[in-house]
């Protein structure tokens, strides 16, 4: 029975913060405890911030894998499993395989099972219909196995010491009248010619006696050092069969070979397929090993990846290509926006301050033990998103479960929480572009496209030294992304408020929402700590006025 388990990625929103990162790890851990049918893998879809990195290091947890996108790739297609052929395989053997293969094309592998070319039925046709006997003046090279199988040979005397025959193949009756055979060749004769004995003076390496049956045993020739074969085929059939015993090496298409790798995006594959004159293409892994074949019809047969979303539900905040994947679950504490799925799913959203509060409830409800490091991560997510319970998004459930988790994690909430939050952005040493993108979410508010970034900082004094650079970068970001308004929130627990910086043509939304004076680019708002409850709703109200 196979031990293979399908992978399910668990991840949060772009620009992952502490709540999002810790929620992905904690929920993946939970799912692996209760569901053994799949392998749940925690992931992030961006670079984690300094606060989240501090949390993971504090509790000794490895960084989640980073996903670039979830756009379908060749590896998600239902590949046509196929056994490759090799360059020394006989024309006859390959022909038998190819006529039973869809598309009448096969990949050719080298001795290391790596793709070296392709061969199709049209490449074999000239060899299959040829009745021309080979020119005996030239040596040919044929694997011994090809001769045994195609010519249906039985060893009568001698032992095979080489894997490949290289030399001349001659018919004895032709040699009698026209020419002598070179030494070490292969001679085809009948029983009478064999019995006359003259054939041995030609010193061949191999002799094939044609038209033999079980009732006519051959007389041994003890002095002959080569190998003697017999065959039921007559001389004419043997001569024709030699063409089919030849290896396909000279017929393989090697130049301008078109193939795809498992890691290639399906969009790129489609473009290349539709511009190609070929219909079928080999697929290889990262080492060049053949994995199968694909054609245009396979483009309709793609296995979607399975994912679980935590701490978000909007497509714009999720990984690129999310719409092509099967969403199994959503665990979130935000508004429901442009959310659409291909099928039914488990959806749990609660009006609490942190996604980790919900996940902690799920652990308790299912009687799953919470280990110390997972408790520490969930606690960190709650403290981060509620700003140690000072955010208006904080609920009694957040406080109660944080205290419960702190006991398991063996930390003091205030001491650990302040240390964690102090690891926020060092504005003086951080490029403005990074500050803006670190925890950014995009929203559609009526007819306006808006971005709102939030960064927790220990002290705002350092910000005022780089205000002009940040403002300039925010304007540039807004223009580049075709946004009407970009807002940057610098939230300080020390000052118990947020500096709100705005940019864009629709800055009047911020003027209406926060009392920002015309001509001003920022305003400090005391007791404003929550993007979700205190900033986004006010901008929404202004947009629909």
Contact 95, 122 (CB under 8 A): no
The chain-wide mean pLDDT, for the chain, equals 88
Which of the following CATH numbers is that of domain 427-543: 3.10.310.20, 3.30.43.10, 1.10.3720.10, 3.30.1330.80? Answer: 3.10.310.20
Classified as helix, coil or strand, 525 is: strand
Look at residue 299 in the predicted model and tell me its pLDDT.
82
Q: Is the pLDDT of residue 131 over 80?
A: no
Q: Who contacts 333 (Cβ-Cβ below 8 Å, separation ≥6)?
A: 311, 349, 350, 351, 352, 353, 354, 355, 357, 358
Contact 120, 293 (CB under 8 A): no
Can you tell me the distance from the alpha carbon of 227 to that of 110, in angstroms, rounded to the nearest whole number?
30
Query: In degrees to the nearest 10, what's the CA dihedral of 13, 15, 19, 25?
Result: 70
Look at residue 435 in the predicted model and tell me its pLDDT.
84
Q: Who contacts 346 (Cβ-Cβ below 8 Å, separation ≥6)?
A: 328, 329, 330
Of 463, 465, 454, 466, residue with least CA distance to 528: 454
Q: Is the pLDDT of residue 450 over 90?
A: yes
φ, ψ for residue 66, nearest 5 deg: -105, 120
Contact 44, 311 (CB under 8 A): no
Contact 20, 355 (CB under 8 A): yes
Look at residue 501 in the predicted model and tell me its pLDDT.
93
The H or E element that residue 27 is part of is helix 18-34
Among 7-16, 349-358, 384-393, name the most confident range: 349-358
Look at residue 184 in the predicted model and tell me its pLDDT.
83
The confidence band for 137, taking pLDDT boundaries of 50, 70 and 90, is low
Give Cα separations from 468 to 145, 452, 463, 521, 525 (angstroms).
79, 19, 10, 10, 19
Q: Is the pLDDT of residue 464 over 80?
A: no
3-state secondary structure 460-478: CHHHHHCHHHHHHHHHHHH
Lowest mean pLDDT among 108-112, 171-175, 202-206: 171-175
Of 251, 285, 147, residue with least CA distance to 207: 147
Q: Is the pLDDT of residue 463 over 80?
A: no
Contact 373, 60 (CB under 8 A): yes
Maximum pairwise Cα distance, the chain? 117
List, for residues 474-521, the tens digit of each pLDDT value. 999 999 999 999 999 988 877 788 999 999 999 999 999 999 888 889
Look at residue 1 in the predicted model and tell me its pLDDT.
38
List, for residues 318-332, the tens digit of each pLDDT value. 888 788 888 999 999
Look at residue 408 in the predicted model and tell me its pLDDT.
97
Q: Is the pLDDT of residue 178 over 70?
A: no
Distance of CA 325 to the CA centre of its chain: 13
Q: Is the pLDDT of residue 424 over 80?
A: no
Specify the pTM. 0.63
Average pLDDT in the 378-398 region?
93
Domain 6-72+305-421 class in CATH: alpha beta
List, for residues 341-373, the tens digit of each pLDDT value. 667 789 999 999 999 999 999 999 999 999 999
Q: Who contacts 262 (Cβ-Cβ below 8 Å, separation ≥6)?
A: 73, 74, 75, 283, 284, 285, 286, 291
Long-range CB contacts (< 8 A, 24+ apart) of 501-507?
501/467, 501/470, 501/471, 501/474, 502/474, 503/471, 503/474, 503/475, 503/477, 503/478, 504/475, 504/478, 506/448, 506/450
The domains of the chain are located at 6-72+305-421, 427-543
Share of the chain above pLDDT 90, in %: 51
Look at residue 2 in the predicted model and tell me its pLDDT.
43
Look at residue 190 in the predicted model and tell me its pLDDT.
93
Among 195-209, 372-386, 525-539, name the most confident range: 372-386
Look at residue 199 in the predicted model and tell me its pLDDT.
87
List, for residues 279-318, the tens digit of each pLDDT value. 889 999 989 999 989 888 888 777 788 999 999 988 878 8
Look at residue 425 in the predicted model and tell me its pLDDT.
59
């Amino acid at each position: 029975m196979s031990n293979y388990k399908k992978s399910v990625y668990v991840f949060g929103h772009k620009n992952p913060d502490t709540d999002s990162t810790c929620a992905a790890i904690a929920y993946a851990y939970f799912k692996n405890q209760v569901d053994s049918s799949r392998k749940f893998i925690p992931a992030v879809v961006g670079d984690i911030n300094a606060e989240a990195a501090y949390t993971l290091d504090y509790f000794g947890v490895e960084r989640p894998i980073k996903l670039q996108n979830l756009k379908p790739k060749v590896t998600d297609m239902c590949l046509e499993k196929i056994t490759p052929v090799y360059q020394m395989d006989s024309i006859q053997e390959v022909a038998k395989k190819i006529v039973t293969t869809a598309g009448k094309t096969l990949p050719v592998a080298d001795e290391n099972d790596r793709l070296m070319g392709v061969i199709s039925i049209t490449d074999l046709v000239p060899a299959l219909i040829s009745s021309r006997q080979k020119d005996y003046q030239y040596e040919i090279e044929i694997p011994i196995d090809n001769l045994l199988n195609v010519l249906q040979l039985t060893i009568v005397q001698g032992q095979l010491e080489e894997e490949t025959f290289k030399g001349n193949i001659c018919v004895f009756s032709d040699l009698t009248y026209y020419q002598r055979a070179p030494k070490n060749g292969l001679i085809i004769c009948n029983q009478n010619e064999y019995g006359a004995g003259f054939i041995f003076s030609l010193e061949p390496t191999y002799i094939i006696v044609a038209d033999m049956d079980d009732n006519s045993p051959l007389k041994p020739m003890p002095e002959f050092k080569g190998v003697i074969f017999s065959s039921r085929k007559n001389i004419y059939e043997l001569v024709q069969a030699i063409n089919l015993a030849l290896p396909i090496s000279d017929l393989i298409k090697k130049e301008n070979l078109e193939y795809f790798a498992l890691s290639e995006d399906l969009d790129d594959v489609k473009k290349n397929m539709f511009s190609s004159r070929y219909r079928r293409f080999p697929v290889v892994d990262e080492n060049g090993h053949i994995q199968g074949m694909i054609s245009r019809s396979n483009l309709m047969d793609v296995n979607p990846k399975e994912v679980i979303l935590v701490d978000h539900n909007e497509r714009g905040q999720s990984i690129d290509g999310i719409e092509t994947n099967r969403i199994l679950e959503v665990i979130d504490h935000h508004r429901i926006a442009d959310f659409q799925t291909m099928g039914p799913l488990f959806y749990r959203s609660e009006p609490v301050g942190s996604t980790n509060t919900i996940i902690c409830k799920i652990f308790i409800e299912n009687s799953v033990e919470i280990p110390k490091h997972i408790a520490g991560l969930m606690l960190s997510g709650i403290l981060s998103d509620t700003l140690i319970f000072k955010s208006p998004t904080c609920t009694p459930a957040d406080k109660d479960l944080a205290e419960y988790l702190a006991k398991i994690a063996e930390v003091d909430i205030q001491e650990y929480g302040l240390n964690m939050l102090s690891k926020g952005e060092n504005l003086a040493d951080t490029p403005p572009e990074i500050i803006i993108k670190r925890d950014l979410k995009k929203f559609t508010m009526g007819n306006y496209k808006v971005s709102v970034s939030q960064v927790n900082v220990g002290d705002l004094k350092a910000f005022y030294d780089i205000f002009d650079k940040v403002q300039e970068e925010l304007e540039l970001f807004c223009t580049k992304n075709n946004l009407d308004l970009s807002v940057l929130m610098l939230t300080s627990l020390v000052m118990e408020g947020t500096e709100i910086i705005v940019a864009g043509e629709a800055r009047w939304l911020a003027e209406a929402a926060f009392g920002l004076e015309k001509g001003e680019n920022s305003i400090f708002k005391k007791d404003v700590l929550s993007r979700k409850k205190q900033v986004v709703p006010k901008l929404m109200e202004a947009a629909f006025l």
